[in-house]
Amino acid sequence: MKLIHPSYFPNILTFSYIMHHPICWEVNDNYQKQTFRNRTYISNDRGKHILSIPIIHAGRANGRQKYKDVLIDNSYLWQRQHWRTLETAYRTSPFFEFYEDEIKALYNQPYEKLLEYNLKTIETIFDCLQLEMPLAKSESFEITPIHNEDYRFLISAKLKHQLKFNTYTQVFNDRHGFLPNLSILDALFNLGPNTVDYLNSEFIAPAND
């Protein structure tokens, strides 16, 4: 199995790995900044745009925070902001209305814990694509996993890669050209059910890598 962090509407690279391999979710590590644990990228009229979930940071006296213990800061109206941003960016995409109700539901009720919310965003995408979501979770933290392949590096927002992604039509292609490796939401709203074919055709995460 490949050990992968649950992230906020994972990017296409990460989701491709999730689709192509047996997955074990890493749920026992410490929270780290500058990762996709609380952010994702979409495309809007200005180009690549970040959606970031505010969290409640533990004080220094409390030491490092476990990812599974990180609380969302719902004093900010982030859910309303994120949904309005998604609606503005993707309202004219071919499949926005088809999946609107399922995605909007994630912004209509508050969630307490970031990990729980991230897993719910992933589960919702799997439901939209009529696929079965991987359920295995890590039982303890291992610096060097013994029984799983370590793909936790995918969570880093600073990850640089030289991969060339197959293109598809995005809402703002005429302004910005193709923006690769955005949130899986970008593919879902633009490709609909064909998102599965797109991910299956990608060479980025072959089943035998």
pLDDT value of residue 159: 79
Does this model's pTM top 0.85? My answer is: yes
- pLDDT band at 59, cuts 50/70/90? low
164: left (phi over 0), alpha (psi -120 to 50) or beta: beta
Side chain identity at 209, as an amino acid letter?
D
pLDDT value of residue 207: 42
Instruction: Measure the CA–CA gap between 134 and 153, rounded to whole angstroms.
Output: 19
Task: Give the residue-averaged pLDDT of 8-24.
Answer: 93
pLDDT (tens digit, 9 = 90+) per residue, 94-147? 999 999 999 999 999 999 999 999 999 999 999 999 999 999 999 888 778 878
Residue ranges of domains in the chain:
2-201
Q: By the 8 A CB rule, do 21 and 207 touch?
A: yes
